[in-house]
Structure 1
Amino acid sequence: MPLQEQTSLWSNTAIKVLDMHSGILQTGSVLSETELTSNVLILAGGGEGDLFINGEVCHVGASFAAHVAKGASFTLTARADNIQYIVIMYQASSMEGASLVMPSYRKHPLNISFVQNSVTQAEWVQVAEKIVAKWSRGEGLERFHANALLQGIIYELIMEYEGSQGGAESDVVNVVAAYISGHYRQNLELKELAALAGCSVRQLQRRFKQEKELGPMEYVIQLRMESASRMLRHTDASIGEIADKMGYRDMYYFSRAFKKYFGVPPQRYRLAVASKDTRLANPLLRDRTASSYESAQGSVICHLRGEYCVTSTPQRIAVLDVQFADHLLALDLSPAGSVGTGSATINFPQYIRAGLQNTELLGTYEYPDLPAVERLAPDLIICTEVHDQYYQRLSRIAPVLMFKRNESWQTILSLFGELTGKRTEAKRIIADYHRRTALLSEELAPVLAGKSVALIRPLESLVRVHSPTHRTGAVLYRDLGLPAPLFVADTSDTAYHISVDRLPVVHASHYFLLSNELIQDGISATEHRVWGMLDEGERQHIHSVDAATWIGCYGPTGINGIVDQIAQAFLA
C-alpha cells in the first residue's frame, strides 16, 4: 500500500521499545534469534557478513539496517572484520488501545522483513547508540526520548524501503521541478525544496536523481545556464546584467559557473556564436575525460583535444599549470619549462621550488608567456582547457596534451607514468597515498566522532563553503572520511556561496579557513568578519591555512602537504 494511502493508519500508530542489547560480533561468530516474539530492528557498522532472514540470505556491508518482523527468525554471521551491532525489540500498536496490534494489513512495512544496505545507515547506527544509552538509564523521561528516537529511525527506514520499491514519487519530484522552473533565478536552498516536498534533504536528492538523472541543485544550474546561453545568443545584455538575472550576485561567480558548464567563459561563448564557431559554442569540452589505452604503436593518451600516441619518451616537456610540474617532480623528472605563481613577482611555489632550479619560467597559468614557450622549443606541451585559446599557436610549437584542470591528480599521474615510462612509480605513489589516508582516517575517526569539518574561503563580500566535489574537499571528505556538515550535503557543485552573516548555519565543529593573507599581504575585512562571526568557544577550532597552497597545489607533493596539515591540526 503506497504511503499516501496510509494516513489514518500511521496517525494512530505508537512505537514502544521493549528491550535492546548491543555487542561486537567477532569474525566467524554468529548472532541468531528464532521465532521472534516482537519486531526487531538490527543496526550494524563495520565489517561484512551474511544475514539470513527466514532462510533468505543477504550480504551486508560496512553498515546496514534490517527490519525483522514478529514471528520471523534471523542469523547474522560476521565474514570479514568484527561487526558492531545493536538489536532493538519493539512493538507497534494503535494509540486507541494496545490490543489493536499493528500492522493491520499483510504488506504493511512493519509486518515484513527487509534489509537496507548502504552507507546512509551509518547515521542510524549513531542514533541507535544514543537510544541504547538513554534506555539503559532506566529513567522515565529518558526512555520516553528513546521511543521518540526509535520512531525517527523507523520513519527513515520505511521511507528508504518504500523508495527502493519504486513507490509513486514522481508527483513530488514534478512539484519541486515546477517550483524550480519558476524560481531558479532566485537563491534556492536544498532544505527549502525538501520542505516543499515534505521529505528530508537526502530523500529529495535520491528521488530527484531517479526521476531527472541529476540532483535538484544541478537542475537549478542547468536551467540557469540554458537561460544564460539563450541571452548570450539572442540579446545584447552585458555579462553583468545576465549574471544578475540568473540570480548571481557577482559576475565572477556567474562566469565561473558558466565556464564549468559549457567549457568556455560567457564572453567567449558569445563571440563563438557570432563567428559561428560551433566547436566553442557547444558544451563539448566538459564531456571529455582523460584516459589511455594500448594500441599496436604504443600507449595512446586521450585528452580534450584528441589522442596522443606515445611512440617515444619526451625529453623536454613544457607545462602550463604548476600542478603538472608537481606530477613530473614526483616521478623524479623535471619539466624544461613551467608557469609560476604570483602577480607582481612571478616564481615557482615554495613547496616545489627546489626541484625546478633548471626549469625555465613561462609566465603564469592565467597568462602564459608564449614567446618564452617558443624559445624553449619543447617536444611536448601540457596544458588545461583554460589554454584552449592558445591551442593553435601552441600546436605549431610541439604536440599538445590538454586536460581538465579539475581532473583527478591520480588520473593525471597515471597518464604521466604512461607518457614517461614511469608506470610503476606512478602506481606506487598512488598506492602509498591510499595507504596513508586510510590509516590516518582510522586515527581521526575517534577524534572527530560526532563532529563535522567545514572547508571555507572568505572572498570579497561572501564566504565560499566547499563541498566534497571540490578537489581539496575530496581530500577531506572522501580520502580521509572527515564528516561534512549537513549544510554541504548536496555535491552538484564544488562550493556554496553565502553571506558572512549566514556562516553560523554551516554549524561545523571545525573550520579549515582558506586564508588569502599571503596572496593579498594581509587579512581582508571579510576574513576579519568571519573570525568575528564564530564565538569564542568555537575559535579554537578554526584552522587557518594558505589558500594559494590548498587551492592550487593539486599534484602529489601538494596533496600530501595538505594531508600533513590536516593531521597536524587534529593530532598534534
Structure 2
Amino acid sequence: MNVDDHIYLWDHAAIKVLDVRHQVLRMGETLQSYKMPSNGFIFVSRGRAQVQLNQIEYIIQQFQVIHGSKGTILDIFLTEDELEYYLIFYKVTMPIPTSQEIVKLMDRSNPFLLQYSYIPNYPIFIYHKVKLMEQEWRKAGGINRFYVKSLFYQFVHNLLQQLHSQGIDMIKPDLVRQVMMYIQENYAQNLTLESIATHLNYSVPHLSSIFKKKTGYSVIDYVIQTRLDIAANLLVETDATLKEIAENVGYRDPYYLSRLFKKYKGVSPLRFRKQERKDAIHRPQNIIESSIVWRQIWRYIDSDNHYQYQYKGEEDIHMPRGSRTSFTAIALLCITLLLGACAGGTTSSNNEATGQNQPVAESQSANSSETRVYKDSQGAAVEIPTNPERIVLQGNSIGDLLALGIEPVGVDRRFIESGVLEDNGKVSSTDIGFPTNLEKVLTLKPDLIMLSYVMDNEVEEASKIAPTIVFDGMQPLKDRLPIIADIVGKKEEGEQLLNKYNEDVDAMWEQLRADGKVAEGETAVVFQFYWNKAMYVMKTGGVADLLYQPKGFAMDEKVQALQPNSGPYIEITPEVLHETLIGDHLFVVLSADKEAQQAFEELKQEPLWSSLPAVKNNKVHFIEDKWNYDDMTTSNMLLEEFPNMLTK
C-alpha cells in the first residue's frame, strides 16, 4: 500500500457526493444482501453489530469507519438493542484524457475500491463532520450540496491521515468475482468490455488481462456463456418463444441467439428444448441440471476470508449437461460395434482374401500399422500411427490438414460452414459436433484423434477410442503447421507448403508495389465490426497476418501499443476510433449478418467515421469475415483474392 499513490489519486479524482443517510436499526431488524449503489463509507455513531462486506466479517462498534466499493454486498446483524450509523455514498471519475501514469496507478493501487474497517484516533472530530454533512444534505440546496462536498473532502483527508498512521490492513476486492457478479446481474443489458470496466472503475486492459489470467477466458466469452445458460433454462422451464427468450437474455435477434446456441451447445435451441424435456421424464428430479458457467469453469474456495479461483485448464468455456460421454457408454457402444462387425461379416480387404473375420479395430493398412512415439503439447508421450489414415480433428485447423492432402473423417463443421473451405471443394468429413460427440467419433473408427483444445476429461475418454494428441490450435500458422504436419507424418510437406506460401506472399506484395497499388512505408489497420456494434482492432490472425507480412503494410506505433498484446481481438469504442484506427489503409472485416451490416451503415453516417483519414482518402477496404481464418488452405485462397479486395 503506497500512501503517496492514494493521496495522489484522491487529489486528481473528480468526486461527487451522491447521498448521505442517517439510519437506525433496532433489535429484530437486519440489513441483508444490500448492494452498495456506489463507493461509500459507513460511520457508526452508536451501538454494536456484526457486519459482512462481501462475506468478510467485521465486529463494529461506536465510531467505527468502514469503506466499501460499488456493488459490495452489505449485511448487518445487531448484537445490541440498537445501531445508529451514517451512509455516505460518492462517485469517482477521472479526468479525460487520463494520463498513463494515473491509469497505471489506478490498476495497481485503486484506493476507491479498497475495503477496510477501523476506529480513528480522533473520532469525535470525524463524527461532527459526518453529522454536519447529513444535516446539510437534507437541506437540498445547491450551496448546501457544495458545502457537503467540502466537508466530505475534510472527512476523507482526516481518515487518510489516521488510516495510514495506524497501518490498517486494506483488502483489495476480487476483480474476477466483481466481474462475474456484475454479469450475472446485468446479462440482459447491452454489455461490452468497456461498459463493464467503466462500471467497476478499472481500465479495460487491466480488467481484461486479470480476468483472462485467472480464468483462462475473456470477459465477453463469460457474458455469452451466462446468457446461453439462462436461455437453456428458459427453453426447458417455460414455453416462451425464442424471440422472447432472446430479448430476456440481451439479444435482439433470435436468429443470432440460435446460431450462438448451436455453436456453444452443439444443438439448436428447439432441439435442445425437445430433448431436455424428453430426458426429464427419466431423471429422478424433473428439472434441468443447470450448467451455470461460473460453476463449471471455476471451483470457488473460501479460505481465511480470501476468495480464490482454481482454474482447471480447459481451453473451452463450457461442457453442456449430457455432452460428456462416460467411458461405460463408450465401452458398451464399442462392444456393440465389434459384435455387429463380426456378425455382419464386415472385414478388411485382406480379410476377404483369406476368408477370416477379424474385429474392425484390427483392420488397418500396412502404413497405419507402423507407429512411433510423439510428445504432445501437454507433455504426454503418445504412441501414434506413423502415417494415420482416419483422423478425427477437433478445432479450426481443418484447412491445415486439407493443404497437406488429408481430409479428416470427422471435424467440427462449424468451421467449414462459417469459412471459405467449401469454396475450395466439397469437404465430406462427418460432423462430430460441439462439444465433441465421442460416440459419433467412435463410429468413425479413427486411428488418430487430434484435439486443439481440451474440455474436462476429454483426453482420457478420447484415448479409449484411439491414440489422442493435444496441440495448441491458437498458435500462428507459421508455428502451428509444422506441428500438425509432424503429427500426421508429413513434416517435409509442411515445410514445403510454408516456404511456398512465404514466397507467394512476397511475390504478391512486390507485384502490388510494382503496380502502384501499395506505396513503400504505407501503414494499415484492421477493424472488425459485429452485429451488436462490438468493435475490435486486430493485430494478429487471419487478415492481419497477411497484411503485416515483412513486405506488406507496416503497423503504426500507436496501434502496436494497443493492449492487450496477446490474442487477436482488442475491443474499442466509437469514442476512440481516431486514436485506434490509425493507418493509411483501413481494412474492415464485416460479418455477412444483415443486422451487422445495418449497424455498420449507421456507424458510417457518424461524423466520427467520415472524418477518419483513411475514409477521407478513400482507402477503406471491406472483407467478409469468412476470410478471417489463418489455416493454410484459407490463407492460400486469401492470397489469390487479396489483390482484388485491395482495389474494390
TM-score under structure 2 normalisation? 0.42
TM-score under structure 1 normalisation? 0.47
Structure index of larger Rg: 2
